[in-house]
Amino acid sequence: MYRFLFSSKWLGYFVLAVIFATACVFLGRWQMDRRAETLAEINRVVSNYSANPIPFSEISDQFRALDPEREWTQVQLRGSYDLDGQRVVRNRPLNGQPGYDVVVPFRLSTGENVVIDRGWLPIGNNTPGRPDVVPAPPAGEVTVVARLKPAEPKLDRGAVDGQLASIDLAGFAKELPYPIATGAYGQLASEDPAVQPMPTPFPKPATEEGTHLSYSLQWFAFGVLMFIGFGYAARQQARNAAIDAEEEEDDGIIAAAGGTPKPRTPVARKNKRPTSEEEEDAILDAQGY
């Protein structure tokens, strides 16, 4: 009854179904992996973002090699900014608006140097490619609370004098006359004493999971539905073939008995709509014509 499934036509259909289902499983698992990454980031934000600041002396090693689980941890530092080392980082959009980050080397009272990202500036209107004003950091001794962020990779694009293409700390270190920690930098949370004006502070990272789970379930469902559709089509093909075989068998019996096979009214088959002529004949029959 289902021997037609071994024909080249139906084997081709089956191969296409397998390929489609495999692609759906791959896309579903990809969405699940993205969800796992998002949940891990959310957990780091929830655990570290608003926790009590840790003194620099207890976590200084993270500025040299940051543990991913320590991202967003608040660190308290005491020292002074090096205004001569201040740079702006280009192509840093915020809420859909183009702009810059302001990064400044910070020399601790222990003699170590780290980089602090003080905030965001909108793109300038006076000089193309530069912010109109870069607010200066506080002078003298400052107490800074900053959140740990990993160093960014080097980008294959240039930057004008006084700017960086990314927060590539190893590359930034080559522009300074003293060593800096190159594993992580601090994203400013607060300064004491505070100054005005200030760059725009960074918003808290989103903690919504997003749509990764629903998308992954949809892809898995598409893969299953492909096989359901294949099975339904095979069942319909087998049913129609059985009807044709039964009609041929009946005609053969009549012919063997010396009779003439009677014209048969086609048996209605699923998913086969009546023709326009058949619909018109049915209406006339119902009206007695």
Q: What is the pLDDT of residues 251-263, one digit of tens each?
A: 566 666 655 555 5
Q: Which of 180, 226, 277, 212 is nearest to 42 (CA)?
A: 212
User: Rounded to whole angstroms, what are the CA distances from 97 to 57, 87, 121, 124, 208?
Assistant: 37, 20, 10, 12, 22
Asked if residue 197 belongs to a domain, the reply is: no
Asked if residue 205 belongs to a domain, the reply is: no
Strand partners, 190: 145
Q: What is the DSSP string of 1-44?
A: --GGGGSHHHHHHHHHHHHHHHHHHHHHHHHHHHHHHHHHHHHH
- Quote the CA–CA distance of 19 and 25 in Å, as a whole number: 10
- The average pLDDT across 200-216 equals 85
Helix (H, G, I), strand (E, B) or coil at 261: coil
Considering the domain architecture, whether residues 153 and 98 belong to the same structural domain is answered as: yes
- The average pLDDT across 262-277 equals 56
- The average pLDDT across 100-113 equals 94
Asked if residue 247 belongs to a domain, the reply is: yes
- Quote the CA–CA distance of 93 and 281 in Å, as a whole number: 69
Q: Which of 176, 180, 106, 181 is nearest to 142 (CA)?
A: 106
pLDDT of residue 251: 58
Q: Which domain holds residue 26?
A: 3-30+212-278
Whole-number percent of the chain with pLDDT over 70:
85
Domain-ending residue, one of 138, 157, 192 = 192
pLDDT of residue 38: 84
Q: How many DSSP H helices and E strands does the chain contain? A: 5, 8
Considering the domain architecture, whether residues 223 and 90 belong to the same structural domain is answered as: no
CA dihedral 45, 116, 53, 143 (to 10 degrees): -150
pLDDT of residue 189: 95
Lowest mean pLDDT among 24-33, 128-137, 210-219, 267-276: 267-276
CA dihedral 221, 223, 225, 226 (to 10 degrees): 170
Asked if residue 216 belongs to a domain, the reply is: yes
pLDDT of residue 120: 96
- The average pLDDT across 13-35 equals 90
Considering the domain architecture, whether residues 85 and 7 belong to the same structural domain is answered as: no
Considering the domain architecture, whether residues 65 and 154 belong to the same structural domain is answered as: yes
Kindly report the backbone phi and psi dihedral angles of residue 40, in degrees, each rounded to the nearest multiple of 5, phi listed first. Answer: -65, -40
Domain-ending residue, one of 160, 192, 224 = 192
* Amino acid at position 276, single letter: S
Asked if residue 37 belongs to a domain, the reply is: no
The alpha-helical segments, DSSP class H, found in the chain are 8-48, 56-59, 169-173, 212-256, 276-286
- The average pLDDT across 198-219 equals 87
Asked if residue 199 belongs to a domain, the reply is: no
- Say how many domains are in the chain: 2
pLDDT of residue 99: 93
Q: Answer whether residue 244 shows pLDDT above 90.
A: no
Considering the domain architecture, whether residues 8 and 57 belong to the same structural domain is answered as: no
Q: Determine whether 143 is exposed, middle or buried from the number of CB atoms within 10 Å of its CB (0-12, 13-18, 19+).
A: middle
Asked if residue 44 belongs to a domain, the reply is: no
- The average pLDDT across 241-256 equals 68
Tell me the average pLDDT of the chain.
85
Highest mean pLDDT among 75-84, 260-269, 274-283: 75-84
CA dihedral 213, 216, 217, 223 (to 10 degrees): 180
Helix (H, G, I), strand (E, B) or coil at 210: coil
268 pLDDT band, cuts 50/70/90, is low
Q: Answer whether residue 277 shows pLDDT above 70.
A: no
pLDDT digits (tens, 9 = 90+) for 43-101: 888 888 989 999 999 999 999 999 999 999 999 999 999 999 999 999 999 988 999 99
User: Rounded to whole angstroms, what are the CA distances from 120 to 82, 115, 131, 213, 241?
Assistant: 18, 15, 10, 33, 71
Considering the domain architecture, whether residues 90 and 132 belong to the same structural domain is answered as: yes
Asked if residue 56 belongs to a domain, the reply is: yes
Considering the domain architecture, whether residues 141 and 264 belong to the same structural domain is answered as: no
Considering the domain architecture, whether residues 54 and 164 belong to the same structural domain is answered as: yes
Considering the domain architecture, whether residues 83 and 153 belong to the same structural domain is answered as: yes
Considering the domain architecture, whether residues 175 and 82 belong to the same structural domain is answered as: yes
pLDDT of residue 261: 56
Question: Are residues 169 and 115 in contact, defined by beta-carbon separation less than 8 angstroms?
Answer: yes
Task: Give the number of other Cβ atoms within 10 Å of residue 122's Cβ.
Answer: 14
Considering the domain architecture, whether residues 70 and 127 belong to the same structural domain is answered as: yes
Considering the domain architecture, whether residues 221 and 186 belong to the same structural domain is answered as: no
173 pLDDT band, cuts 50/70/90, is very high
Q: Which of 87, 88, 94, 58 is nearest to 73 (CA)?
A: 58
